[in-house]
Amino acid sequence: MSDLHFRPVDGEAALEEWRQVHNTIIPTAPLALDEVRRNAERYHLEVARLGGEAVGCSTVRPPTEEEPAATVIARVLPEHRGRGIGGLIYRQGLARAREFGAERIETIVLASNTEGLAFALARGFVQVEEYLLPGDTVPFLTLRLS
């Protein structure tokens, strides 16, 4: 898919595109623009664009001294799934995590996102944790690459 391009979240337009993709896929925990700005300062965020349109996004949380695992999250809008975009976003994020020196790779999936969960399991991830954000009823699942 040679026309898929990755754009680092480095300006207002990219922040908003990333936010829109995230909030569509994670409706139980929508982020405000200021929250995305803070995340962009701590994590590596990218927007995946196909033909000039945002079709997905990624988050790579670098490992820290306290947590040697990097977290790689690939998101694809539902209408663009099943075309290999998620795999390309995931590989891009995995490469970034390796550049950060990650010893382990984890991902996080909203439990109701059955397609996202199947995607992670098919790539060798296994569930290691389940948690609820305050006020939520749908848990998030943390999975580790085995």
Q: Can you give the CATH number for the domain in which 11 is found?
A: 3.40.630.30
Q: Which of 64, 20, 68 shows the shortest CA–CA distance to 45?
A: 20
Task: Enter the pTM of the model.
Answer: 0.93
DSSP class of residue 11 equals: S
- Contact by Cβ (8 Å): 119, 78: no
Could you list the pLDDT tens digit for every one of the 146 residues in the chain?
A: 679 999 999 999 999 999 999 999 999 899 999 999 999 999 999 999 998 899 999 999 999 988 899 999 999 999 999 999 999 999 999 999 999 999 899 999 999 999 999 999 999 999 999 999 888 899 999 999 98
Domain hosting residue 88, numbered range: 4-145
For strands 53-61 and 104-110, give the pairing: unpaired
Total structural domains within the chain: 1
SS3 of residue 125 by DSSP = strand
